[in-house]
Chain A
Amino acid sequence: EVQLVESGGVVVQPGGSLRLSCAASGFTFDDYAMHWVRQAPGKGLEWVSLISWDGGSTYYADSVKGRFTISRDNSKNSLYLQMNSLRAEDTALYYCAKDMYGSGSTSIDYWGQGTLVTVSS
């Protein structure tokens, strides 16, 4: 059974930093690209970032480019999102999600339950 378990969400002040983690199990982690997708309270889904199976290719939404960094450790079956210079508009539930392919696409077949990040003073 595929499982994606996010952690690291907390309340942080504007301008602060945070690192989210996602522990993956139930599939061959290093065969697949991975995404972070977020959802602000009461709002729709917003794609944040994508990393290819080997970490060689990374992509970001314009809203987070230059502030967020996606990475993965295939030896630990883990995905990460380093978030810097946080803003109030980054407040959201952050989902870790698995792509159907290694290079990444828009076919996201498994999602975690999310971790809540709140940016507030």
Chain B
Amino acid sequence: QSALTQPASVSGSPGQSITISCTGTSSDVGSYNLVSWYQQHPGKAPKLMIYEVSKRPSGVSNRFSGSKSGNTASLTISGLQAEDEADYYCCSYAGSSTSHVVFGGGTKLTVL
């Protein structure tokens, strides 16, 4: 069982917006602004999409945004495009005395 809980799948039509949730605890997501999100296409390495809750790396589309409320972080993708279809993983710092870094179980995004 993953330390962070994500929905197994979400779907949306081109042009729509979707949100993927990532629920942790007060020991990880709730305590630190160190949540990141990764996109992974089949057979490819993960790609950083959001870091430190809401920051976008250079080159990542502004259609991707991140936020956090309490123990739950969220990734929102607006103006869905076919190429957004992929697996998405959240990741959080969990403290130096514990697992340190934890990933969510992943969410499969299907663009209808």
Interface residues of A (CB under 8 A from B): 35, 37, 44-47, 50, 59-62, 95, 100, 105-109, 111-114
Contacts and interface: CB of A to CB of B under 8 A. Distances in A.
Contacts, number: 68
Question: Top 9 closest A-B pairs, CB basis?
Answer: A107-B51, A111-B45, A44-B106, A59-B100, A47-B101, A45-B103, A106-B91, A106-B36, A106-B34
Given A45-B38, A47-B103, A107 B52 contact: yes
A109 B48 contact: yes
B21 to A, nearest CB: 16
B57 interface: yes
Nearest to B2: A44
Contacts of B36: 106-108
Contact of B51 (A46, A60, A100, A112): A100
A114 B57 contact: no
Nearest to A35: B101
A114 B46 CA distance: 11
Contact of A46 (B40, B47, B52, B103): B103
- Provide the main secondary structure of the chain A interface: strand
Contacts of B2: 44
B96 interface: yes
* Residue of B2, B40, B91, B102 most packed against chain A (CB within 10 A): B91
B12 interface: no
19 contacts: A37-B103, A44-B103, A45-B40, A45-B89, A45-B91, A47-B91, A47-B100, A47-B101, A47-B103, A50-B101, A59-B101, A61-B99, A62-B99, A106-B36, A107-B51, A108-B38, A109-B57, A112-B45, A113-B45
